[in-house]
Amino acid sequence: MANGSNERVKAAFARAMDKLQVARKVLDAGFPAEAIPPAYYACFHVAEAALSIEGVEPRTHEGLKSAFGLHFIKTGRPCGTWLYPA
């Protein structure tokens, strides 16, 4: 992975962790419906990081969802193999 790509992966994971923290705080405050959007974006940013590791950088939100499905879901590749290679 090139250094620029490594930085993109780290930044995407940082965004994911920020969103996850917001979702947890909102949920703990008793607002489960309001916790859904930040939880969704935490997943979105993890998918962004996973695709970056693969060298895939979609330009749109829909492109990211499609590329993640193509590279991870349709291949049957278990979640996490991109993070913890065999």
Give residue-wise pLDDT tens across range 18-66.
999 999 999 999 999 999 999 999 999 999 998 998 889 999 999 999 9
Task: Examine residue 84 and state whether it is found in any structural domain, yes or no.
Answer: no
Give whole-number Cα distances, 74 to 26, 31, 55, 70, 78, in Å. 33, 34, 18, 5, 10
Task: Examine residue 27 and state whether it is found in any structural domain, yes or no.
Answer: yes
Helix, strand, coil % in the chain, rounded to nearest 5: 70, 0, 30
How many residues can be counted in the chain? 86
In the structure, what pLDDT confidence band is assigned to residue 2 with cuts at 50, 70 and 90?
A: low
The count of structural domains within the chain is: 1
Task: Examine residue 85 and state whether it is found in any structural domain, yes or no.
Answer: no
Report pTM. Answer: 0.81
Task: Examine residue 79 and state whether it is found in any structural domain, yes or no.
Answer: no
Taking the C-alpha atoms of residue 30 and residue 42, their distance in angstroms, rounded to an integer, is 19
